């Protein structure tokens, strides 16, 4: 970037490289460097327009705020020498960094000021959003489940496939007439760590378990046990202890979350419209 006249661009380059690729500019490939540079040039140009605006002219960033911002950055380093060395490696120095931080905070302050003109969110708007996005406020059905697992492992005779299948089938036949003993049998025979808790896997939603287990579990009624189910781990028996149906969150309970979402959305729209005028 031999044509760069404002060293602040290097701060934007560093910020863009870290945001896009989680690496400093010097560690990027040529392609990624160019992408980060393009991103930095755009953010620098936009920031420059905002801080040159009439709105920015009426805002002052306190010295104490900049002192705190500089201290927050420096505290990430073990000592001042490491701090200065990293600045130099990224073609910055303390003066440039302080100016970049001042510009950054001024930019943010202008956008906050612009978005402060947003209208209060009405109860009608909240109710409309709730009705349109009702599914978002309906937690899915959940099931409390216990399992017994017999693994398949050819290195151990009792866990070779045919023996493992026989063992799990014997446990199934035993529990088919005494399902109330499931937790006890799981504690004694399951090869899953959950055996320490009677085979309890907790409360799960669809998609949490292996597909075969998921299908079997959500086909059960409360208190019922599955047949033998095979997964990548081995052979399983599942007990659906109870079903927690999907229950919509009431509008009154969801209102605060909806209001915050709509306020943020309105602020972003105001900021975007403002930026489009520059």
Say if CB 149 and CB 190 are below 8 A apart: yes
* Calpha distance 170→47 (Å, rounded): 71
Helix (H) or strand (E) holding 276: helix 251-276
Question: What is the extent of the structural domain holding 217?
Answer: 139-244
The CA R_g of the chain, rounded to the nearest whole Å, is: 30
How do residues 5-17 score in pLDDT, each as one tens digit? 799 999 999 999 9
- The three-class DSSP label of residue 206 is coil
pLDDT at 3 over 60: no
Question: Would you mind telling me the total number of residues written for the chain in this entry?
Answer: 278
Pair 82, 70 in one domain: yes
Q: Are residues 59 and 97 in the same domain?
A: yes
- Indicate if 198 and 215 belong to the same structural domain: yes
Question: How many distinct helices (H) and strands (E) make up the chain?
Answer: 11, 4
Residue 246, both tokens? 């999907």
pLDDT tens for 20-68 read 999 999 999 999 999 999 999 999 999 999 999 999 999 999 999 999 9
For residue 103, give the nearest of 52, 41, 54 by alpha carbon. 52
277 domain-assigned: no
Cα angle, residue 217 at apex, residues 214 and 220 outer, rounded to 5°: 150
Give the pLDDT confidence of 116-161 residue by residue, as tens digits.
Answer: 888 899 999 999 999 998 888 988 999 999 999 999 999 999 999 9
Kindly state the tokens that stand for 191.
Answer: 């090869």
The pLDDT value recorded for residue 97 is 97
Number of structural domains found in the chain: 3
């Amino acid at each position: 970037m031999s044509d760069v006249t404002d060293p602040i661009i290097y701060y934007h380059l560093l910020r863009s490289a870290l945001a896009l690729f989680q690496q400093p500019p010097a560690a990027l490939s040529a392609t990624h460097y160019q992408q980060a540079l393009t991103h930095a040039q755009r953010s620098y140009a936009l920031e420059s327009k905002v801080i040159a605006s009439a709105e920015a002219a009426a805002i002052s960033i306190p010295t104490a705020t900049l002192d705190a911002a500089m201290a927050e950055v420096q505290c990430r380093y073990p000592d001042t020498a490491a701090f200065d060395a990293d600045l130099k490696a990224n073609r910055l120095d303390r003066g440039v960094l302080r100016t970049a931080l001042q510009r950054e905070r001024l930019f943010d302050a202008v956008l906050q000021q612009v978005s402060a003109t947003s209208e209060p969110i009405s109860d009608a708007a909240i109710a409309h959003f709730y009705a349109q996005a009702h599914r978002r406020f309906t937690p899915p059905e959940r099931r409390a489940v216990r399992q017994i697992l017999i693994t398949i492992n050819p290195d151990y005779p009792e866990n070779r496939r045919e023996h493992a299948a026989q063992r799990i089938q014997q446990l199934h036949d035993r529990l088919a007439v005494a399902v109330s003993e499931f937790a006890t049998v799981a504690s004694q025979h399951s090869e899953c760590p959950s055996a320490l808790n009677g085979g309890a896997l907790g409360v799960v939603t669809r998609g949490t378990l292996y597909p075969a287990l998921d299908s079997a579990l959500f086909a059960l009624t409360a208190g019922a046990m599955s047949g033998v189910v095979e997964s990548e781990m081995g052979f399983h028996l599942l007990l659906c202890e109870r079903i927690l149906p999907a229950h919509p969150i009431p509008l009154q309970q969801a209102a605060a979350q909806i209001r915050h979402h709509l306020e943020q959305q309105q602020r972003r729209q105001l900021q975007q419209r403002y930026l489009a005028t520059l």
